[in-house]
Structure 1
Amino acid sequence: YCTDVWFNEAMQFMETDETPFFCYISTNAPHGPFNVHEKYSAPYLQQGIPKQRARFYGMIANIDENIGRLRQWLADNNLTENTILIFMGDNGTAMGTGITADGYPTDGYNAGMRGKKTWVYDGGHRNACFIHWP
Protein backbone atom coordinates (compact mmCIF):
# COMPACT_ATOMS: atom_id res chain seq x y z
CA TYR A 1 0.00 0.00 0.00
CA CYS A 2 1.57 3.28 -1.14
CA THR A 3 1.11 5.21 2.12
CA ASP A 4 2.85 2.42 4.06
CA VAL A 5 5.68 2.37 1.51
CA TRP A 6 6.25 6.12 1.74
CA PHE A 7 6.37 6.11 5.54
CA ASN A 8 8.67 3.06 5.55
CA GLU A 9 11.00 4.76 3.07
CA ALA A 10 10.98 7.97 5.11
CA MET A 11 11.98 6.11 8.27
CA GLN A 12 14.71 4.28 6.36
CA PHE A 13 16.00 7.61 5.02
CA MET A 14 16.09 9.11 8.52
CA GLU A 15 17.81 6.02 9.89
CA THR A 16 20.62 6.02 7.33
CA ASP A 17 21.30 9.75 7.36
CA GLU A 18 23.73 10.81 10.10
CA THR A 19 23.23 14.56 9.56
CA PRO A 20 20.26 16.80 10.35
CA PHE A 21 17.52 15.99 7.88
CA PHE A 22 14.45 17.38 6.20
CA CYS A 23 11.93 14.72 5.27
CA TYR A 24 8.72 15.61 3.44
CA ILE A 25 6.12 12.87 3.09
CA SER A 26 3.36 13.76 0.67
CA THR A 27 0.70 11.07 0.51
CA ASN A 28 -1.85 10.80 -2.26
CA ALA A 29 -4.33 9.44 0.26
CA PRO A 30 -7.09 10.07 0.88
CA HIS A 31 -7.86 10.31 -2.79
CA GLY A 32 -9.50 8.30 -5.55
CA PRO A 33 -9.57 5.51 -6.54
CA PHE A 34 -9.98 4.81 -2.78
CA ASN A 35 -7.97 1.59 -2.67
CA VAL A 36 -7.30 0.61 0.92
CA HIS A 37 -6.89 -2.65 2.84
CA GLU A 38 -10.23 -3.95 4.09
CA LYS A 39 -9.14 -3.79 7.75
CA TYR A 40 -9.21 0.02 7.50
CA SER A 41 -12.59 0.36 5.78
CA ALA A 42 -14.36 -2.46 7.66
CA PRO A 43 -15.12 -0.47 10.86
CA TYR A 44 -16.96 2.13 8.77
CA LEU A 45 -18.78 -0.42 6.60
CA GLN A 46 -19.99 -2.11 9.80
CA GLN A 47 -21.59 1.20 10.79
CA GLY A 48 -23.54 1.30 7.53
CA ILE A 49 -21.40 3.96 5.89
CA PRO A 50 -21.48 3.61 2.08
CA LYS A 51 -18.54 1.68 0.56
CA GLN A 52 -16.74 4.55 -1.21
CA ARG A 53 -16.93 6.82 1.84
CA ALA A 54 -15.89 3.95 4.15
CA ARG A 55 -12.83 3.40 1.96
CA PHE A 56 -12.08 7.14 2.05
CA TYR A 57 -12.28 7.10 5.86
CA GLY A 58 -10.19 3.91 5.88
CA MET A 59 -7.45 5.73 3.98
CA ILE A 60 -7.47 8.41 6.68
CA ALA A 61 -7.27 5.70 9.36
CA ASN A 62 -4.21 4.27 7.59
CA ILE A 63 -2.54 7.69 7.52
CA ASP A 64 -3.29 8.05 11.24
CA GLU A 65 -1.71 4.66 11.91
CA ASN A 66 1.39 5.62 9.92
CA ILE A 67 1.75 8.94 11.75
CA GLY A 68 1.60 6.94 14.99
CA ARG A 69 4.28 4.57 13.69
CA LEU A 70 6.46 7.51 12.69
CA ARG A 71 6.09 9.17 16.09
CA GLN A 72 6.96 5.90 17.82
CA TRP A 73 9.93 5.40 15.50
CA LEU A 74 11.22 8.89 16.33
CA ALA A 75 10.89 8.12 20.04
CA ASP A 76 12.57 4.71 19.72
CA ASN A 77 15.49 6.33 17.89
CA ASN A 78 15.86 9.20 20.39
CA LEU A 79 14.95 11.80 17.79
CA THR A 80 11.93 13.44 19.44
CA GLU A 81 14.08 15.97 21.30
CA ASN A 82 15.71 17.20 18.10
CA THR A 83 12.90 16.94 15.55
CA ILE A 84 10.02 19.16 14.55
CA LEU A 85 7.11 17.11 13.21
CA ILE A 86 4.45 18.93 11.19
CA PHE A 87 1.28 17.27 9.92
CA MET A 88 -1.08 19.17 7.68
CA GLY A 89 -3.53 18.64 4.86
CA ASP A 90 -3.68 20.56 1.62
CA ASN A 91 -7.38 21.35 1.30
CA GLY A 92 -10.81 20.76 2.74
CA THR A 93 -12.98 17.79 1.87
CA ALA A 94 -13.53 17.09 -1.81
CA MET A 95 -17.06 15.82 -1.18
CA GLY A 96 -18.78 18.81 0.37
CA THR A 97 -20.70 18.66 3.61
CA GLY A 98 -23.91 17.42 5.09
CA ILE A 99 -24.92 15.70 8.33
CA THR A 100 -27.66 13.12 8.87
CA ALA A 101 -30.07 13.38 11.79
CA ASP A 102 -27.94 10.89 13.76
CA GLY A 103 -24.70 12.85 13.19
CA TYR A 104 -23.01 11.06 10.28
CA PRO A 105 -21.51 13.06 7.41
CA THR A 106 -23.56 12.58 4.24
CA ASP A 107 -20.86 13.67 1.81
CA GLY A 108 -17.78 14.84 3.70
CA TYR A 109 -16.92 16.57 6.93
CA ASN A 110 -15.92 20.22 7.19
CA ALA A 111 -16.75 20.88 10.85
CA GLY A 112 -19.76 22.89 9.75
CA MET A 113 -17.76 25.18 7.48
CA ARG A 114 -19.10 26.34 4.12
CA GLY A 115 -17.51 25.04 0.92
CA LYS A 116 -15.26 22.20 -0.17
CA LYS A 117 -12.00 21.55 -2.06
CA THR A 118 -11.23 24.32 -4.62
CA TRP A 119 -13.63 26.78 -2.94
CA VAL A 120 -12.47 30.03 -1.33
CA TYR A 121 -14.74 29.48 1.68
CA ASP A 122 -13.34 28.05 4.94
CA GLY A 123 -14.46 24.51 4.08
CA GLY A 124 -12.18 24.58 1.06
CA HIS A 125 -8.92 25.38 2.77
CA ARG A 126 -9.16 24.87 6.53
CA ASN A 127 -8.09 21.42 7.61
CA ALA A 128 -6.15 19.44 10.17
CA CYS A 129 -2.73 20.61 11.28
CA PHE A 130 -0.56 19.75 14.25
CA ILE A 131 3.01 20.60 15.10
CA HIS A 132 5.13 18.78 17.68
CA TRP A 133 8.52 20.00 18.83
CA PRO A 134 10.75 19.55 21.87
Structure 2
Amino acid sequence: MHQYAAGRSDALDDARIAELIGAVRSALDEGRAAEAPSVPGKRPYVKEGAVPLAPKYAESCRRCGRCVEACPVEAVDAMTLKTDKGTCIACMGCVAVCPDRARTVNGLLVKAAALAIKKQEGGRKEAELFSVA
Protein backbone atom coordinates (compact mmCIF):
# COMPACT_ATOMS: atom_id res chain seq x y z
CA MET A 1 0.00 0.00 0.00
CA HIS A 2 2.85 2.42 0.79
CA GLN A 3 3.99 2.97 -2.78
CA TYR A 4 3.83 6.76 -3.01
CA ALA A 5 6.26 9.32 -1.62
CA ALA A 6 8.93 6.66 -1.33
CA GLY A 7 12.11 8.05 0.18
CA ARG A 8 10.28 10.86 2.00
CA SER A 9 10.93 12.55 4.31
CA ASP A 10 14.33 13.45 2.95
CA ALA A 11 17.01 16.08 3.67
CA LEU A 12 14.98 18.85 1.96
CA ASP A 13 11.90 18.00 4.02
CA ASP A 14 13.98 17.86 7.20
CA ALA A 15 15.43 21.31 6.46
CA ARG A 16 11.94 22.78 5.97
CA ILE A 17 10.74 21.21 9.21
CA ALA A 18 13.77 22.62 11.05
CA GLU A 19 12.87 26.07 9.63
CA LEU A 20 9.32 25.73 10.90
CA ILE A 21 10.51 24.63 14.34
CA GLY A 22 12.83 27.66 14.47
CA ALA A 23 10.01 30.03 13.54
CA VAL A 24 7.69 28.57 16.15
CA ARG A 25 10.43 28.67 18.80
CA SER A 26 11.11 32.35 17.99
CA ALA A 27 7.41 33.19 18.24
CA LEU A 28 7.20 31.48 21.63
CA ASP A 29 10.37 33.19 22.89
CA GLU A 30 8.98 36.57 21.83
CA GLY A 31 5.68 35.87 23.57
CA ARG A 32 3.62 36.14 20.41
CA ALA A 33 0.19 34.59 20.88
CA ALA A 34 -0.32 31.39 18.94
CA GLU A 35 -3.25 31.39 16.58
CA ALA A 36 -4.60 28.59 14.49
CA PRO A 37 -3.00 28.66 11.04
CA SER A 38 -5.11 29.13 7.96
CA VAL A 39 -5.05 25.84 6.10
CA PRO A 40 -6.33 25.71 2.52
CA GLY A 41 -8.94 23.20 1.47
CA LYS A 42 -12.24 22.05 2.82
CA ARG A 43 -13.53 19.30 5.06
CA PRO A 44 -13.85 16.48 4.55
CA TYR A 45 -10.53 16.27 2.70
CA VAL A 46 -11.86 13.93 0.03
CA LYS A 47 -11.95 14.99 -3.58
CA GLU A 48 -15.43 14.81 -5.07
CA GLY A 49 -15.69 11.73 -7.27
CA ALA A 50 -12.60 10.14 -5.68
CA VAL A 51 -12.32 6.38 -5.47
CA PRO A 52 -13.68 5.37 -2.03
CA LEU A 53 -10.92 3.46 -0.26
CA ALA A 54 -12.57 2.85 3.10
CA PRO A 55 -10.84 -0.14 4.74
CA LYS A 56 -12.86 -3.09 6.06
CA TYR A 57 -11.98 -5.50 8.82
CA ALA A 58 -11.59 -9.25 8.43
CA GLU A 59 -12.46 -12.22 10.63
CA SER A 60 -8.86 -12.33 11.88
CA CYS A 61 -9.48 -9.05 13.77
CA ARG A 62 -8.81 -9.36 17.54
CA ARG A 63 -10.72 -6.12 18.26
CA CYS A 64 -7.69 -4.48 19.86
CA GLY A 65 -8.99 -1.01 18.96
CA ARG A 66 -5.77 0.32 17.45
CA CYS A 67 -7.59 1.14 14.22
CA VAL A 68 -10.14 3.22 16.14
CA GLU A 69 -7.37 5.14 17.94
CA ALA A 70 -5.37 5.67 14.73
CA CYS A 71 -8.20 7.20 12.70
CA PRO A 72 -7.72 11.00 12.61
CA VAL A 73 -11.35 11.64 11.59
CA GLU A 74 -13.02 9.02 13.81
CA ALA A 75 -14.37 7.09 10.83
CA VAL A 76 -13.89 3.68 12.48
CA ASP A 77 -16.75 2.80 14.82
CA ALA A 78 -15.45 1.53 18.17
CA MET A 79 -18.26 -1.02 18.58
CA THR A 80 -18.61 -2.46 15.09
CA LEU A 81 -15.17 -1.57 13.66
CA LYS A 82 -16.94 -0.63 10.44
CA THR A 83 -15.55 2.33 8.51
CA ASP A 84 -17.89 5.21 7.67
CA LYS A 85 -17.20 5.74 3.96
CA GLY A 86 -18.53 9.27 4.11
CA THR A 87 -16.08 10.26 6.84
CA CYS A 88 -13.01 8.20 5.91
CA ILE A 89 -10.22 10.17 4.21
CA ALA A 90 -8.40 7.00 3.05
CA CYS A 91 -5.24 7.82 5.02
CA MET A 92 -4.76 4.08 5.71
CA GLY A 93 -3.67 4.76 9.28
CA CYS A 94 -5.95 2.00 10.50
CA VAL A 95 -4.42 -0.43 8.02
CA ALA A 96 -0.87 0.52 9.01
CA VAL A 97 -1.38 -0.02 12.76
CA CYS A 98 -3.29 -3.29 12.62
CA PRO A 99 -1.11 -5.97 14.26
CA ASP A 100 -3.12 -8.75 12.60
CA ARG A 101 -3.31 -7.22 9.12
CA ALA A 102 -7.04 -7.57 9.51
CA ARG A 103 -7.92 -4.22 7.91
CA THR A 104 -7.87 -4.29 4.13
CA VAL A 105 -8.99 -2.36 1.08
CA ASN A 106 -10.57 -3.81 -2.05
CA GLY A 107 -7.70 -4.60 -4.45
CA LEU A 108 -9.58 -3.40 -7.52
CA LEU A 109 -10.27 -0.04 -5.87
CA VAL A 110 -6.57 0.28 -4.97
CA LYS A 111 -5.64 -0.33 -8.61
CA ALA A 112 -8.18 2.26 -9.78
CA ALA A 113 -6.83 4.79 -7.29
CA ALA A 114 -3.24 4.02 -8.32
CA LEU A 115 -4.14 4.73 -11.95
CA ALA A 116 -5.79 8.02 -10.99
CA ILE A 117 -2.73 9.05 -8.98
CA LYS A 118 -0.38 7.97 -11.77
CA LYS A 119 -2.15 10.38 -14.13
CA GLN A 120 -1.42 13.25 -11.71
CA GLU A 121 2.27 12.48 -11.19
CA GLY A 122 4.50 15.36 -12.06
CA GLY A 123 7.65 14.88 -10.03
CA ARG A 124 8.48 15.90 -6.52
CA LYS A 125 5.70 17.59 -4.57
CA GLU A 126 6.88 19.89 -1.82
CA ALA A 127 5.38 19.45 1.62
CA GLU A 128 3.12 22.28 2.79
CA LEU A 129 3.81 23.37 6.34
CA PHE A 130 1.45 25.72 8.17
CA SER A 131 2.39 28.00 11.03
CA VAL A 132 1.31 31.38 12.39
CA ALA A 133 4.94 32.26 13.03
TM-score for the superposition, normalised by structure 1: 0.25
* Highest RCO, 1 vs 2 (Cα 8 Å, sep ≥ 6): 2
Higher helix share: 1
TM-score for the superposition, normalised by structure 2: 0.25
Structure showing greater radius of gyration is 2
